Structure 1
Amino acid sequence: MGKPKALILPPQSRMDEVCSAECVSLLKEHFEPIWNEKGKDYTQEELAELLRTSQAEALLTSWGSPVMTEELLELAPKLRMIGHAAGTVKGRIPPTAFAKEIRIFSAAPRIAQSVAEYCLTVLLSSLRYMPTFDKQVKEGNWRIDSLKGRELAGQTIGIVSASSTARAFLKLLAPFNVNVLVYDPYLKDEAAAQLHVKKASLEEVMLCPIISIHAPKLPATYKMITKEMISSIPDKAILINSSRADVVDEEALIEELQKGRFFAALDVFTKEPLPADSPLTKLDNVLLSSHVAGATVEGHLALMQSVVEDMVRSMKQEKTMTEVTQAMWENMA
């Protein structure tokens, strides 16, 4: 029996970013790759023609690849696997793929690792007031005696949503022996025990001295962190948002941050790019970044390999790690 044909949608420029040399070898070993040699992303029409003629059993996509539609799936009767070398597959692959027994794989868990490192980076920097000290030294002020950094060890941290990113963050926090409260209506008691966290209400989490938001963008999560909850954030607290801005009442957050009561590290905003005249750009108690929490050289280069390895596991009927199931679909970002 021959190797399954795999249609690789990203052009070489994108492959250089998301596919390592090891990944290329893996593809050649287990598949019959059909590379994109056009030097650009395929159009919807070009993809339709490829699906008609290639008889592909596997499909690999990434940023820039055409969105799969129900009509396109109808053109690929042999298709059994789709691997997305990027984040969420919602809006990119129709859920009807499950009815066609097409298995879906997403590199989102690998991106979660990169985002988790971002969270730890900004948390430690914020606890030690690094942005403030950097600014002061550059302005000729050697030391602020009234400002003394804090340690992470033993702190209490509130986590909003036990997502894959939150779980990756928890692993990085483990050596610091922190106490963790998690709000997630879908987190079962057994899973909470395995994660060594305590389940809590959203209101309780927002009272923690450190809060990290990891909730997906869903109708149910829209502005679920209300003005009242934001006003309850303790003085000198640290708030991190690396998930989605729509989870928070951003206007209320800006209003509260302008009081200077607590510090925030924000990587996501309701309008991106963040307007130059945003009040957030004027605040010293806010650390801003441009939706780059998941963007690292190593992380991006591992994206396609993470899904290809899992596709190979599925072919061997082994347990998968990046597979998206129908049961997961409803609560995914």
Structure 2
Amino acid sequence: MGKPKALILPPKSRLDEVCSDTCKSLINEHFDPLWNETGVDYTEEELAALIGSAEIILTSWGSPAITEAMLEQAPKLRVIGHAAGTVKGRIPPTAFSKQVRVFSAAPRIAHSVGEYCLTVLMSSLRYMPTFDKQVKAGQWRVSSLKGRELAGQTIGIVSASSTARAFLKLLAPFHVNVLVYDPYLKDEAAAQLQVTKASLEEVMRCSIISIHAPKLPATYKMVTKEMIASIPDGAILINSSRADVLDEEALIEELQKGRFFAALDVFTKEPLPEDSPLTKLDNVLLSSHVAGATVQGHLALMEGVVEDILKGFKQEKTSMEVTQAMWENMA
């Protein structure tokens, strides 16, 4: 039996970012690959012309979306693997009814996001942005600020998503207490994660809060103005998920009071406008939607997907497969 034919959509410039040499060897060993030699991303028309004989399609950022019409033209298609995050908007849900298995590298990106959350949390607890600015201005311990330790703190988590779970693993050595708001989190799963289920209101009153909710109609501005006003003085708020999950205008109003600190990686308008009030605040640490972007993380994306696809072929348990049951609550 011949190797399955695989379309590798990313051009070399992007492939070298998301596909390691080990991954390329795996693809050549197990698949009959058609590499994108055009130097640019395929157009929808170009992909449609190639898809007819494909059994496996590997995509990433910049790759054209798979349409329902394309699925109709691909009777041999068995697997779509996305070496990036969400597959919503990139693959039609009808793929499941056609018995096409879908894989996403989102779980690997989640680890990178978890590291971002730990990084900004530790920096914020020790007031590193403030101390850095003071020393560079020639000021030496002029502030009465004193850093805080993470060990033993109570942390509120909004949504037990994959990024939240990655963050929780990194928090484990610090023996923190964790409250989680997630209406879909079962008691058994909460016990396995060693967290306490709580209401959203309870989570938003914690001294450390990390937002991990996906962007869905049900999560739009679910963190209300009143909840933001209830954030305790001196608290730390981290948002590495989506800005639409909370009322951004209300958040800015509260941050302008200087009551608490925020580390924000996502915004309702991106790039963040230069005149945004957030850029004027000393109690806000800003980054440009890069929580999931690391050299090692990106290079592992396609390799993780390919390894998981091979596990699926052997009827072994997969970790990156997206099922139809997962679809509705995914970002």
Q: Same fold (TM over 0.5)?
A: yes
Q: Which residue of structure 1 lines up, in the alignment, with residue 240 of structure 2?
A: 242
Q: Which residue of structure 2 lines up, in the alignment, with residue 131 of structure 1?
A: 129
Q: Which residue of structure 2 lines up, in the alignment, with residue 327 of structure 1?
A: 325
Q: Name the SS of the counterpart of 2:13 in structure 1.
A: helix
Q: Which residue of structure 2 lines up, in the alignment, with residue 30 of structure 1?
A: 30
- Alignment of 1:296 onto 2:289: no
Q: Which residue of structure 1 lines up, in the alignment, with residue 312 of structure 2?
A: 314
> Superposed, which structure 2 residues align to 1:230-269 within 5 Å?
230-269=228-267
Q: Which residue of structure 2 lines up, in the alignment, with residue 210 of structure 1?
A: 208
Quote the Cα distance in structure 2 between the aligned partners of 1:20 and 1:322: 18
Quote the Cα distance in structure 1 between the aligned partners of 2:32 and 2:117: 39
Q: Which residue of structure 1 lines up, in the alignment, with residue 51 of structure 2?
A: 51
Give 1:128's aligned amino acid: R
Q: Which residue of structure 1 lines up, in the alignment, with residue 12 of structure 2?
A: 12
> What are the Cα deviations for residues 158-199 of structure 1, in whole angstroms up to 9, with x where unaligned?
000000000000000000000000000000000000000000
Q: Which residue of structure 2 lines up, in the alignment, with residue 225 of structure 1?
A: 223
Quote the Cα distance in structure 2 between the aligned partners of 1:51 and 1:245: 36
- Alignment of 1:106 onto 2:110: no
Question: Of the candidates 279, 287, 300, which is equivalent to residue 285 of structure 2?
Answer: 287
> What are the Cα deviations for residues 121-166 of structure 1, in whole angstroms up to 9, with x where unaligned?
0000000000000000011111135100000000000000000000
> What are the Cα deviations for residues 13-64 of structure 1, in whole angstroms up to 9, with x where unaligned?
1100000000001111111111001111001110011013xx1110000001
Q: Name the SS of the counterpart of 1:35 in structure 2.
A: strand
Divergent runs of 4+, >6 A: none
Q: Name the SS of the counterpart of 1:287 in structure 2.
A: strand
> What are the Cα deviations for residues 80-135 of structure 1, in whole angstroms up to 9, with x where unaligned?
00000000000000000000000000000000000000000000000000000000
Quote the Cα distance in structure 2 between the aligned partners of 1:77 and 1:42: 20
Quote the Cα distance in structure 2 between the aligned partners of 1:248 and 1:132: 26
Quote the Cα distance in structure 2 between the aligned partners of 1:247 and 1:145: 34
- Alignment of 1:180 onto 2:178: yes
Identity percentage over the alignment? 83
Q: Which residue of structure 1 lines up, in the alignment, with residue 154 of structure 2?
A: 156
Give 1:72's aligned amino acid: M
Quote the Cα distance in structure 1 between the aligned partners of 2:303 and 2:73: 26
Q: Which runs of 5+ in 1 are unaligned?
A: none
- Alignment of 1:272 onto 2:270: yes
Q: Name the SS of the counterpart of 1:98 in structure 2.
A: helix
Q: Name the SS of the counterpart of 2:97 in structure 1.
A: coil
- Alignment of 1:196 onto 2:191: no
Give 2:173's aligned amino acid: P
In the alignment of these two chains, the number of paired residues is: 331
CA RMSD of aligned residues (A): 0.5
Quote the Cα distance in structure 2 between the aligned partners of 1:226 and 1:6: 47
Give 1:218's aligned amino acid: L
Q: Which residue of structure 1 lines up, in the alignment, with residue 64 of structure 2?
A: 66
- Alignment of 1:121 onto 2:119: yes
Q: TM-score, normalization: structure 2?
A: 0.99
Give 1:164's aligned amino acid: S
Q: Which residue of structure 1 lines up, in the alignment, with residue 140 of structure 2?
A: 142
Quote the Cα distance in structure 1 between the aligned partners of 2:154 and 2:44: 49
Q: Name the SS of the counterpart of 1:180 in structure 2.
A: strand
Q: TM-score, normalization: structure 1?
A: 0.99
